[in-house]
């Protein structure tokens, strides 16, 4: 009877979760919102379906373990150097500034110092899963701001790993000095052990088990529990143990396959985690924390992007890149809830603090989804607010303020642009490469190329660049807003040359053609190498490009 009752509870919970998920999906919001709402509905405040609380709690903890295991799979310690200085500086700076400001906000709202620290740290991290999913859906994962965002998410995950290490020590009742010393000692022991296991033990094991996909699947699960259980016996938490278990497999060539096979299992138990989270909440919990919820939500939605804009501008990036990157940190993450739950387990926080964090999570996750989806359009509307942060004048690699018109202008050097530059050189015409990334401009300078840092979508910048005096303009930036800005500027100047822009889809390409584009590159359809071959043949002949566009 107990088994039948549990089956009924899980079944009805999943049915309600599926129904709410369909509604949330229709509203184009992350499904995590539906899972938390499901918990509220099936919890004691409304339907009171979840009677076997302990079983659901264990299932939710397994979900957290699998989540951190898959996060660890993406933390390849051998590729730390590939994160880049901008990602490291932005990631550390954003977490630091958000924590400091969040702590002060907590004190101003009347929370004690310990609670303020927990809330500030919890709200400093962003959801890797949600951001990468939204960037993939928008096809911006490979854009400049997309690459930077993924980079500082990786940095955030490493910081989170260290915080989990500290929380594990605090929960044991140790003092601050003991926590710091103990964490340092554990780190000294853990790093070489992690390296040895990852570099020496894992490769031969995986080479054997990878002969069978089913064997690889069960090995990965067993490895997660083995390493996590071993570290728990050494005084670490289950969460950190699962994260480290993933890290030990992250340098393997099989990590993608492991991730793909674990993901469905992770998602199922993670659904239970957020449902259990919701069962601990009631509408009365939200009403009692309404003012802190509004204040912290506004801070995460507005304050975090501004912090990122300022940090990235200080590193030489345009405010537009900073704003687009900033919108990706305008929500709290799954890790935020783990921190709060750990605080409750340690006796430092109460259920009302969990209600506050959950409410902030619901608002910021929904709000940031909208921000990321429409961030280019939003920036165009509010870019006047960031005018004071923009470079006062166009600046080339030699530091000169004046610029002579080139025959060819290439907007965007990353990947496709790098391929096209080889062809443009062979045209034996004067050319200029324009990019938003100051690191790219420095790279061009080292190569002896004519590189200019600036916003291709800024009409004043295009005027300083004398874009309307060129014979050929090629933009490899698949951003409709930027493409429309370039075409609009050239149309207003009655431009007679060839203008080639990029778009994400054929629908966007049609809009560009109507605005006067000679040809539109759709990266998913046309590779940079293929377009380079076309460029060799057609060069600056406008009629040949226009005739080609009609056949596409």
Tokens 């802190």 belong to residue? 292
| Overall average pLDDT of the 290-298 stretch | 91
| Overall average pLDDT of the 101-118 stretch | 91
Same domain, 316 and 418: no
Supply the pLDDT for residue 107: 93
| Overall average pLDDT of the 215-236 stretch | 84
Same domain, 232 and 303: yes
For the cut 70, the answer to whether the pLDDT of residue 545 exceeds it is no
Is residue 319 domain-resident? yes
For the cut 80, the answer to whether the pLDDT of residue 525 exceeds it is no
The band of 299, judged by pLDDT with boundaries at 50, 70 and 90, is: very high
- Tell me the pLDDT tens digit for each residue of 29-43: 777 788 888 888 887
**Residue where a domain stops, chosen among 348, 367, 385:** 385
The band of 140, judged by pLDDT with boundaries at 50, 70 and 90, is: confident
Supply the pLDDT for residue 141: 67
Q: How many Å is the maximal CA-CA distance in the chain?
A: 84
The band of 82, judged by pLDDT with boundaries at 50, 70 and 90, is: very low
Same domain, 109 and 232: yes
The dihedral sign for the CA sequence 530, 536, 540, 544: negative
Worst-scoring range by mean pLDDT, 126-135, 254-263, 291-300? 126-135
For the cut 70, the answer to whether the pLDDT of residue 53 exceeds it is yes
Report CA 124 to chain centroid distance, whole Å: 14
The band of 77, judged by pLDDT with boundaries at 50, 70 and 90, is: low
Is residue 390 domain-resident? no
Is residue 102 domain-resident? yes
Same domain, 363 and 418: no
Is residue 190 domain-resident? yes
Supply the pLDDT for residue 300: 92
Supply the pLDDT for residue 102: 92
Same domain, 200 and 253: yes
Same domain, 536 and 411: yes
Crossing angle for the helix pair 334-345 and 144-171, nearest 10 degrees? Answer: 10
For the cut 70, the answer to whether the pLDDT of residue 187 exceeds it is no
For the cut 60, the answer to whether the pLDDT of residue 76 exceeds it is no
DSSP states along 392-439: SS-EETT--S--PPPSEEEE--TTHHHHHHHHHHHTTS-EEEEES-HH
Supply the pLDDT for residue 398: 41
Same domain, 324 and 418: no
For the cut 70, the answer to whether the pLDDT of residue 168 exceeds it is no
Is residue 75 domain-resident? yes
CATH code of the domain containing 430 = 3.40.50.720
| Overall average pLDDT of the 94-100 stretch | 90
Supply the pLDDT for residue 2: 62
Higher pLDDT, 239 or 541: 239
For the cut 80, the answer to whether the pLDDT of residue 450 exceeds it is no
Is residue 92 domain-resident? yes
| Overall average pLDDT of the 63-77 stretch | 74
Give the pairing type, strands 498-502 and 472-475.
parallel
Same domain, 381 and 431: no
Q: For the chain, give the mean pLDDT.
A: 79
Same domain, 348 and 425: no
pTM greater than the 0.75 cutoff: no
Supply the pLDDT for residue 165: 66
Number of domains in the chain: 2
| Overall average pLDDT of the 406-422 stretch | 83
| CB-CB contact of 461 with 491 (8 Å) | no
Same domain, 374 and 404: no
For the cut 80, the answer to whether the pLDDT of residue 240 exceeds it is no
% of the chain beyond a pLDDT of 90: 7
| Burial state string for 252-290 with b = 16 or more CB within 10 A and e = fewer than 16 | bebbebbbebbeebbeebbbbbbbbbbbbbbeebbeebe
Worst-scoring range by mean pLDDT, 53-62, 70-79, 141-150, 317-326? 70-79
Higher pLDDT, 24 or 455: 24
247: Cβ contacts below 8 Å, ≥ 6 apart: 72, 73, 75, 77, 194, 198
For the cut 90, the answer to whether the pLDDT of residue 104 exceeds it is yes
- Token pair for 61: 């903890």
CATH code of the domain containing 342 = 1.20.1530.20
**Residue where a domain stops, chosen among 329, 363, 385:** 385
The band of 396, judged by pLDDT with boundaries at 50, 70 and 90, is: very low
Supply the pLDDT for residue 400: 44
Supply the pLDDT for residue 286: 62
- Give the domain range for residue 478: 395-551
For the cut 90, the answer to whether the pLDDT of residue 295 exceeds it is yes
For the cut 80, the answer to whether the pLDDT of residue 207 exceeds it is yes
Supply the pLDDT for residue 394: 46
The band of 429, judged by pLDDT with boundaries at 50, 70 and 90, is: confident
**Residue where a domain stops, chosen among 355, 385, 415:** 385
| Overall average pLDDT of the 458-464 stretch | 81
Is residue 406 domain-resident? yes
Same domain, 350 and 465: no
| Burial state string for 89-119 with b = 16 or more CB within 10 A and e = fewer than 16 | bbbbbbbebbbebbbebbeebebeeebbbbb
DSSP states along 329-378: GSS--HHHHHHHHHHHHTTS--HHHHHHHHHHHHHHHHHHHHHHHTHHHH
Worst-scoring range by mean pLDDT, 396-410, 466-480, 506-520? 396-410
Is residue 57 domain-resident? yes
Same domain, 307 and 421: no
């Amino acid at each position: 009877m107990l088994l039948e009752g549990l089956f009924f509870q899980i079944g009805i919970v999943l049915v309600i979760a599926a129904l709410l998920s369909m509604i949330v999906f229709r509203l184009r919001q992350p499904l995590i919102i539906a899972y938390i709402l499901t918990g509220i509905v099936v919890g004691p405040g409304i339907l009171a379906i979840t009677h076997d609380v302990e079983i659901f709690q264990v299932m939710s903890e397994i979900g957290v373990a699998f989540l951190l295991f898959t996060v660890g799979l993406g933390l390849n310690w051998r590729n730390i150097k590939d994160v880049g200085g901008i990602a490291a500086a932005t990631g550390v700076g954003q977490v630091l500034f958000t924590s400091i400001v969040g702590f002060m906000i907590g004190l101003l709202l009347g929370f004690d110092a310990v609670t303020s620290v927990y809330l500030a740290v919890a709200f400093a991290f962003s959801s890797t899963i949600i951001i990468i999913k939204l960037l993939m859906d928008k096809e911006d994962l490979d854009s400049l701001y997309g690459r930077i965002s993924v980079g500082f998410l990786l940095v955030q995950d490493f910081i989170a790993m260290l915080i989990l290490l500290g929380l594990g020590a605090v929960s044991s009742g140790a003092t601050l000095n003991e926590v710091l010393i103990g964490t340092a000692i554990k780190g000294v022991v853990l790093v070489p052990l992690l390296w040895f296991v990852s570099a020496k033990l894992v490769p031969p094991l995986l080479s054997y088990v990878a002969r069978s996909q089913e064997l690889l699947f069960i090995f990965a699960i067993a490895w997660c529990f083995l390493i996590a259980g071993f570290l728990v016996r050494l005084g670490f938490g289950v969460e950190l143990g699962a994260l480290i278990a993933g890290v030990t497999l992250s340098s393997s060539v099989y990590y993608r396959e492991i991730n793909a096979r674990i993901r469905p299992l992770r998602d199922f138990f993670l659904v239970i985690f957020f449902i259990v989270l919701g069962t601990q909440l009631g509408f009365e919990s939200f009403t009692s924390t309404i003012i802190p919820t509004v204040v912290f939500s506004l801070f995460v939605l507005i304050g975090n992007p501004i912090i990122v804009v300022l940090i990235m501008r200080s590193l030489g990036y345009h405010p537009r890149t900073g704003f687009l990157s900033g919108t990706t940190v305008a929500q709290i993450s799954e890790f935020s809830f783990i921190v709060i739950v750990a605080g409750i387990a340690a006796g430092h926080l109460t259920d009302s603090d969990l209600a506050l964090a959950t409410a902030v999570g619901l608002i910021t996750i929904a709000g940031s989804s909208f921000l990321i989806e429409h961030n280019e359009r939003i920036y165009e509307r509010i870019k006047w607010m960031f005018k004071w942060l923009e470079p006062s004048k166009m600046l080339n690699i030699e530091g000169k303020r004046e610029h002579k018109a080139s025959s060819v202008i290439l907007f965007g050097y990353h990947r496709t642009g790098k391929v096209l530059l080889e062809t443009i050189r062979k045209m034996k015409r004067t050319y200029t490469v324009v990019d938003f990334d100051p690191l790219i401009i420095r790279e061009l300078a080292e190569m002896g190329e004519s590189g200019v840092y600036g916003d291709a979508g800024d009409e004043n910048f295009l005027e300083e660049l004398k874009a309307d005096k060129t014979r050929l303009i090629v933009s490899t930036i698949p951003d409709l807003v930027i493409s429309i800005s370039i075409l609009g500027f050239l149309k207003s100047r009655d431009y007679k040359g060839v203008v080639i822009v990029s778009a994400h889809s054929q629908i966007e390409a049609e809009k560009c053609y109507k605005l006067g584009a000679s040809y539109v590159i759709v990266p998913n359809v046309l590779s940079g190498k293929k377009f380079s071959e076309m460029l060799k043949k057609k060069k600056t002949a406008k009629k040949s490009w226009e005739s080609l566009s009609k056949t596409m």
